[in-house]
Structure 1
Amino acid sequence: MMVNFADKAVFGLAADEIRADLGLSATRFGLANSAFFLLFSLSAVVVGVLADRLSLKWLLLVMALLWSVAQVPPALGGGLAVLVGTRVVLGAAEGPAFPVAQQIAFSWFPNHRRNLPGALVTLGVTFGVITAAPTLTWVIDRHGWCSALWALAVAGLVWGAAWFGLGAIGRHREDRPGADPSGDEETGEETGAASGRASSWAAYRRVFGSRTWIGVTLAYFTSYWGVALMLVWLPSYLKNALGYSSGAAGTLVAVPWAVGAVVLLGQAAVTGRLMRRGVPSRWARGRVGAALLAVGALCLLGLPLVNGHAAKAVLLFLGFGFGGSFAAIAATTVAEVAPPRRRGGSLGTMNALVTTAGLIAPTVVGAMVDAQGHAGYQNAALAYAALLLVGALAAAVLIDPQRDAARTGAPLPERNRP
């Protein structure tokens, strides 16, 4: 996930350089970044379904190799068409990464122990940006943005080699007695009413029609809107609207991700403690997630009320840090409500719908900046705050995994089995 999000962050870090090199307006640059998400969502669905049948280890390896290859054409040179085309390919390869990575992590832990592992995988996103922001900014300033793409291609290949030698799947992939410990292939026949339901495509319809899945998807969509803005427009916001230098912006852009890391770990600790005490998931996951989104919204709504760039930056970092921290809750909640052999498709489809925010947000904000100038950045943050409030309401009202698991055919959590 660190490599995955460094790949995503590089264009935001090099936004001004790329726009100057290729003569792009803010709107056209936003469209180029939105192209990344053109096949991102579709591939998340397709690979998510395949993940229920194929080796998770090999799926992730193939995706990572494609990430690396996709960096090469724009690094060699070319215009806007090359840039857009390779971003489409990169998006298709990276779209399924988060749900597949979460599935692999979950395969090593029972349901009530998945909060911390899920948060740690999500922290890869944060660490990817925290390490990439200053490092890639330095490379871009001294050697140009094409050199940053070469660095990312090498990083992906190195990770692929390490994963090929060390990657493995845990024994909890199926969440049922007698499951194949390797988790690499489907084995055996399922028994029982729940397993019978899970073995048919109707199981997907039950999951997608559940209030929990709908609530998680809505809430995560609003959260991911901010993730897309942080990746594409936050460096420009800091430089153009708040007056920070390129070097300072390259460092400060990591701050909201660092805030998100602290929030993620805190959320994992709180959620895990509540669930070990027997608190229902609608509170331990749904209401905790709603609170994170609400805090983020309130921070961003305070932007017009403060003066000074430093005060605005603090509220901005807190708002994006809290608002963008719903991913781990989304993954663990869907994993709880989906039958094991439909978990990949359920996570992948959620991710596909959620990441359409990445297709829309960069273009919308680019148009706002072109139309409103520097004021467009703050207005975009306020619009994001309004979305977060909608997401918080959806999480608080709709999420109840224990209620919906009985309808979808998901197994009882391991700790509750006889």
Structure 2
Amino acid sequence: MIDDDVAPVTPATRSAASGAGRAWGVTALLMAFMVVNFADKSVLGLAADPIRRDLGLSATAFGLANSAFFLLFSLSGAAVGLLADRIRPRWLLLAMAVVWSAAQVPMALGAGFGALVGSRIVLGAAEGPAYPVAQHTVFTWFTDRRRNLPGALITIGTALGVVIAAPTLTWMIDRHGWRSAFAVVAVAGLVWAVLWFCFGREGTVAQDPATEYALAPSADLGQPSYRRILRSGTWIGATAAYFAAYWAVALTLVWMPSYLHDGLGYPTDTAAEIVAAVWAITGVVMLAQAGLTSRLTARGVPSRWARAGVGGCALVLGAFGCVALAAAHRGPAVILLLVVGFGLAGVMVSISFTTVAELVPAGRRGGALGLLSAVGTAAGLIAPTVTGRLVDLQGPAGYRHAVLLCAAVLLIGGIAALTLVDPARDARRLAG
């Protein structure tokens, strides 16, 4: 007897199930891509003290070495983001991972400060497009209403990268020297590249059938210009909010271990554990954000509030958290304030991309996301150097003033998200 409540298995349902499995498999690979990406970024922050000691660097020089990472980061993010509208993202992602690994080799083999700066410039150029191209790729597997969770999982990969890297690389640094950490992340990048070559693909959801990554000269007809997209309130507000969020992310990656050790007096291993805990809690917050925004969207709440409203409020709360953190001393409250002040900012990283992806058509998505990343990640070029200068001039008090500066940036970004972003309004204007 056939149960009427059970749908029959047909070739169509098997194909749909297979497609869904492939979509989540690619999402997992892209999440791992961001794990490696942020493990690469975190190496210098985790090894800050031994690197500065062995290479004889001041705080300003160390901040400049970290800022060198962002010298081509933004430009590359914009250029490769535009290419992602014309070249299959699969190959772009593969090339990035291979270059990441190659860039780590000089420091693993004993190079000095000049090579450190050069390798960070190359690494930044290769990693600049990583997040926007990863998001662009995962969006080809899901419709707009289903993008909140996979988009958030890609962002959670950034937090997970530090959660894994902080204790693991700190252990390697303590026992085998700081150069061993560069070797570990180089190998991790190569392993991911092999897996992606074997299993990585783009999806076909919301794909522009006229382009298929090989645009004809007439394929741009009917598409809004990038100039119009970049002048929209949604793109401007999302980009300003992303800039603020990335300011907090850059400080967390580069200076949080030193802030905990030199500014608050925690032992090195305890500082690494706190960094890992902050990023772990941040990952949970990002997952909660995905659930909240998905529920609000499903209930018909406009994206202006379901996405940008949530992210903008998170940035404003982060600003108040940073103000409180600047006055805090060692103790349990520090972890809570670090999560509020810096962790909540990560919510806006994911939201900025899903919001802009909602606004623009598929044929303009890679470029729009790349340009968003280019402007937003410029914060990574500024924040580490400014912080290093403050620390050189003021000693441990410089960390406190850097945190207060971060509060001001987060507040401005939160206000921009709450007042400028409205995808429905701007989509109608672009279509007109």
Q: Give runs of aligned pairs for residues 19-168 of structure 1, distance below 5 A.
A: 19-168=52-201
**Equivalent-residue separation in structure 1 for 2:327 and 2:292 (angstroms):** 31
Q: Which runs of structure 1 show a deviation greater than 3 angstroms over 4 or more consecutive aligned residues?
A: 183-190, 304-310
User: Structure 1 residues 8 and 380, CA, compared in 2 at 3 Å: closer, same or farther?
Assistant: same
Partner of 1:242: 264
Write the mapping of 1:159-238 to structure 2, written as runs, cut at 5 A.
Answer: 159-174=192-207, 185-186=214-215, 196-198=221-223, 203-238=225-260
Distance 1:88 1:173, change over 3 A: farther
Question: Which amino acid is the alignment partner of residue 399 of structure 2?
Answer: Y
Q: Distance in 2 between matches of 1:341 and 1:362?
A: 35
Q: Equivalents in 2 of 1:250, 1:306: separation in Å?
A: 19
1:343 is matched with which residue? 365
Instruction: Provide the rounded CA distance (Å) in 2 between the counterparts of 1:85 and 1:306.
Output: 37
**Aligned-partner residue type, residue 385 of structure 2:** T
For residues 66 and 157 of structure 1, what CA distance do their matches in structure 2 show?
9
Gaps of 5+ in 2: 1-33
Task: Report how far residue 76 of structure 1 moved.
Answer: 1.2
Q: Does 2:8 match 1:8?
A: no
Q: What is the distance in 2 between the residues matched to 1:206 and 1:245?
A: 51
CA gap 1:69/1:307 in 2 versus in 1, 3 angstroms: closer
Please list, as runs of the form range in 1=range in 2, the aligned pairs for 1:319-358 lying within 5 A after superposition.
Answer: 319-358=341-380
Superposed displacement of residue 173, structure 1: 4.5
Q: Does 1:405 align with 2:427?
A: yes
Say if 2:278 and 2:335, in contact at 8 Å, map to a contact too: no
The alignment partner of 2:205 has SS state of coil
CA RMSD of aligned residues (A): 1.7
Does the aligned pair in 2 maintain the 1:197–1:203 contact within 8 Å? no
Displacement after TM superposition at 1:300 (Å): 1.4
**Structure-2 residue corresponding to 1:267:** 289
- Amino acid across the alignment from 1:66: V
**Aligned counterpart, 1:372:** 394
8 A Cα contact 2:326 2:403, kept in partner = no
Give how far 1:225 is off.
0.2
- Work out the CA distance in 2 between the residues paired with 1:62 and 1:133: 26
1:253 pairs with 2:275: yes
Instruction: Assess, with a 3 A threshold, how the Cα gap between structure 1 residues 185 and 150 changes in structure 2: closer, same or farther.
Output: same
Cα contact 1:223–1:324 (8 A) shared by 2: yes
Structure 1 unpaired stretches of 5+ = 411-418
**Letter matched to residue 323 of structure 2:** L
Give the length in aligned residue pairs.
399
**In 2: Cα distance, 1:306 partner to 1:320 partner:** 15
In the TM superposition, residue 317 of structure 1 has moved relative to its aligned partner by 2.9
Q: Give the whole-Å Cα distance in 2 for the aligned partners of 1:248 and 1:173.
A: 47
Q: Per-residue displacement from partner, 1:93-143 (whole Å, max 9, x unpaired)?
A: 000000000011111100111000100011110110000110000000110
Identity of paired residues, percent?
57
Superposed displacement of residue 277, structure 1:
1.3
**TM-aligned CA distance change 1:187 to 1:173, over 3 Å:** farther
The change in CA–CA distance for 1:377 and 1:56 in structure 2 (over 3 A counts) is: same
Q: CA deviation at 1:222?
A: 0.6
Deviation at 1:304, TM superposition (A): 4.6
Q: Is the 8 A contact 1:259 1:322 kept in 2?
A: no
* AA at the equivalent of 1:286: A
Which residue of the partner structure matches residue 383 of structure 2?
A: 361
